[in-house]
Amino acid sequence: MSVVDRQEWDVVVVGAGGAGLRAAIEARERGARTAVICKSLFGKAHTVMAEGGIAAAMANVNEHDNWQVHFRDTLRGGKFLNQWRMAELHAQEAPDRVWELETWGALFDRTKDGKISQRNFGGHEYPRLAHVGDRTGLELIRTLQQKIVALQQEDMKETGDYESRLKVFQECTVTRILKDGERVSAVFAYDRESGRFFVLEAPAVVVATGGIGKSFKVTSNSWEYTGDGHALALLAGAPLLNMEFVQFHPTGMVWPPSVKGILVTESVRGDGGVLRNSEGKRFMFDYIPDVFKEKYAESEEEGDRWYEDPDHNRRPPELLPRDEVARAINSEVKAGRGSPHGGVFLDVSTRMPAEVIRRRLPSMYHQFKELADVDITAEAMEVGPTCHYVMGGIAVDSDTAAARGVPGLFAAGEVAGGMHGSNRLGGNSLSDLLVFGRRAGWHAAEYAMGVAERPEVAEAQVNTAAAEALRPFSAETEGEAGPPENPYTLHQELQQTMNDLVGIIRREGEMEQALQKLAELRVRARRAGVEGHRQFNPGWHLALDLRNMLLVSECVARAALERTESRGGHTREDHPTMDRAWRNANLLCALADPTGGLAATDPARGQIRLTRETTDPIRPDLLALFEKEELVKYLAEEELYE
C-alpha cells in the first residue's frame, strides 16, 4: 500500500456550505487550527442555490414578530416533533446571525426606511425572511468566504502563512471518518482531480455535508447531495434521527424533462403568486387542514387583502407549510385537474406588474425564460412537487451539536436532524446553518483543545479505507458472481426506486418492495466496476457515492415503513392521519454491524437497525406559548395531562 499523506489539525470541517463555513470561522476564531474540506469548488456549495431568504424574527416589517412567535411557527411546521431546544435556540439566535453577516459585508435588501427587508413565506406568521432578491444563498456564501479570506490575511500577517490556521481543501471527498477506540481521530479523503489519498488528523470533526436529495429522481438538489455525511456518521457509529421525513417542495419545474425538479422558489407565493388547477380554480382553499383552519383565509378576497393588511386578515392557503401544499398539488393532478405536463399552474403574471416581477424575482424570470421559454410576467408557470430537503439527520445534542455516541464528532446544517421535526419551514434552513454552524464550530474547538492526548490514527485503518476506495477498480476480478455493473445505471435505478416507492405518498407494500430492490442494488453495487485510473474519473466517484446513497435510502425506507401515521414530510396513504401517539416518538437508524465494516456483511441483508425512543418532554414555559386548544390537536393524552 502506498504511503498516504497526513496532516494534523485541531478541527476538520467536512463541507463548505453555510453550516461548514460558519463552523470553520467559529473554530478558527476560538483558536483551533481548522481545516475545511469540500467536494465541490470553494464557494460552489449547495447553499449558493438558496433563493428566498433567511428566517429571523427581526420585526423589521411587522413589529409584532419576536423569537417566541418564530418558535411557535417552527413547531407547528414540524408538527411538534422538533427537538424543541434546537427550535428555541434557533429562534432566539437567528437575528444576531443575520446582523453578524452584515457586519462581515453582506448587504440585504432594504425596507423604505432602511431596515433589512423581510418577506412572507409559508408557515411564518409575519414577514420574516431577510433576502437579497432571490439570490440570498449566494450572498451568504460570498460573505462567509470573504470572512475566511480576511482571517487568512490576519494569519499571514502573524505567521507568514495564509493557511497556517485555516485551510480549505477543495474538490476533495471524504470517504471515511477514522477513530481511535470510541473517539474520532481523522478523516480519510481523496483529491477528485488527482485521485490521491490523504488523511487529515484531528480530535474533532464537524460534518456539514448537506442532504440526500440525489437519491430521488426528481429533485431540486445539486450533484453533491448523495448523503455522504449521513453515511459517514452511520459508519462511524453515530445514529441518524427520523430519516423518514423528506421534504417534497410543492413547486419544482415540471417541463421540459431536462429541467424537471429545479426549484421554483416559495417567494413566488410569498410575494402574491397563486396556484390554480386546469379549471382555473384556486384549489388551495379546499385543502386547509383542521389544525390550521383558524389561521388561514376562507375566501380569495380575504387572502388577497392580507398582503396589504395582515393585521386584520388571514393569510392565503397558498402559504400553508410545504407538506400541505405539495400533497394538495399531488391530489389535484391525480384527480385529473393538472396542467398539460403533469403539474398545476403557478401564476404571478396576473398579480403583479411585469417590472415588479423582474425586480423581485429576477432568477425565476430568467430560469423560466431560458430553460422553458416561458415569460412569467405574461403567463403562468407549470409546477409540481420535487424532493428538496431532508429533515432527518445525524442525532445531535441541541446546545453543542455533538453527535450522539461518538466523542469528537459534531454535525450542523442539513445533515443534522431534529431542528425541523417532521417538516421544515422555508427560510429556516439558512438560519439553522448559521446558528448551529457557529455552535458546532465553537464546541468542536473547545473539545479539540481540551483533549489531554491527541487520538492516534492507526495505519491499518488508513489502509482499510484506501482498499475500500480502490475496490471499484478491481470489483470484477474479486470473484463476485455476475456481470460487472455500471455505477451510473445503478444510480438511476436507485433514484427511480426511491421516487416511485418511497416518494411523496407512501404505501406499505411499495416500501417493502423498495427495501427488496435496495437489497438487490446493494448486491449489484458490490460489482460496480470502473475502468481507467484514479485521475479525474467520474465513474469512480459515482461508484463511491453509491455506498452512501444506498445506506441513506435504506434508512428512509425502513423508518417510513415503521412510522404508521402521516406527519409533515411523511405521508402514508394507508395511515392518512397524524396520530398523537407518535408525537413523542423518534426513530433512530444505526448500522446493523456496529463495527462499521460493510465489506464483511452480506449485502442482501439489511444494513440498518431501527430503534424507537421517546422524545424529551417539551419544557413547560415553551408549551405555555401555545393555546391549550391547539396543543390538544398535537400532544398525546399523557403529555397533556403532565
Residue with cell string 424537471: 260
Which CB, 482 or 596, lies closer to ligand FAD? Answer: 596
* Residue of 128, 165, 322, 360 marked active site: 322
Does 50 bind ligand FAD (CB under 6 A)? Our answer is yes
Pair type for strands 344-347 and 381-390: antiparallel
Q: Packing angle between helix 84-103 and helix 428-450, nearest 10 degrees?
A: 90
Does 589 bind ligand FAD (CB under 6 A)? Our answer is no
- Which range in 217-225, 338-346, 535-543, 628-636 contacts ligand FAD by CB under 6 A? 217-225
Which CB, 47 or 349, lies closer to ligand FAD? Answer: 47
User: Residue 577, class by beta-carbon neighbours within 10 Å (0-12 exposed, 13-18 middle, 19+ buried)?
Assistant: exposed
CA atoms within 13 A on the CB side of 572: 21
Residue with cell string 474538490: 171
Which CB, 411 or 588, lies closer to ligand FAD? Answer: 411
Does 18 bind ligand FAD (CB under 6 A)? Our answer is yes
Which CB, 252 or 316, lies closer to ligand FAD? Answer: 252
Binding-site residue total for ligand FAD (CB under 6 A)? Answer: 43
Which CB, 86 or 415, lies closer to ligand FAD? Answer: 415
Q: Packing angle between helix 508-525 and helix 487-501, nearest 10 degrees?
A: 170
Does 139 bind ligand FAD (CB under 6 A)? Our answer is no
Which CB, 53 or 603, lies closer to ligand FAD? Answer: 53
Which CB, 17 or 239, lies closer to ligand FAD? Answer: 17
Does 14 bind ligand FAD (CB under 6 A)? Our answer is yes
Q: How far is the CB of 170 from ligand FAD (least distance, A)?
A: 8
Binders in 352-391 for ligand FAD, by CB under 6 A: 389
Q: How far is the CB of 101 from ligand FAD (least distance, A)?
A: 13
Contact (CB, 8 A) for 188 and 465: yes
C-alpha to C-alpha distance for 541 and 332, rounded to whole angstroms: 40
C-alpha to C-alpha distance for 219 and 263, rounded to whole angstroms: 8
- Distance, first Cα to last Cα, the chain: 61
Long-range contacts of 180-184 (CB under 8 A, 24+ apart): 180/455, 180/456, 180/457, 180/458, 181/455, 182/237, 182/406, 182/407, 183/406, 183/407, 183/408, 183/455, 184/236, 184/406, 184/407, 184/408, 184/409, 184/455
Of 77, 122, 137, 239, the one binding ligand FAD by CB under 6 A: 137
Interaction pattern, residues 245-264, with ligand FAD; x per rule: CB under 6 A: ------------------x-
Question: Could you tell me where the beta strands, DSSP code E, fall in 216-365?
Answer: 240-241, 246-253, 274-276, 344-347
Of 13, 45, 205, 445, the one binding ligand FAD by CB under 6 A: 45
Of 4, 12, 13, 16, the one binding ligand FAD by CB under 6 A: 16
What phi, psi does 443 have (nearest 5°)?
-75, -30
Of 78, 210, 418, 529, the one binding ligand FAD by CB under 6 A: 210
Active site residue 322: yes
Does 173 bind ligand FAD (CB under 6 A)? Our answer is yes
Does 392 bind ligand FAD (CB under 6 A)? Our answer is no
Question: How many C-beta neighbours within 10 Å does residue 195 have?
Answer: 17
Q: How far is the CB of 622 from ligand FAD (least distance, A)?
A: 22
Which is nearest to 11 in space by CA: 140, 19, 26, 236? Answer: 26
Beta carbons within 8 Å of 454's beta carbon, 6+ residues apart: 8, 201, 203
Question: Active-site positions?
Answer: 322
| List of residues contacting ligand FAD (CB under 6 A) | 14-20, 37-40, 45-47, 49-54, 136-137, 173-174, 208-210, 220-221, 224, 228-229, 263, 389, 413-415, 426-430, 433
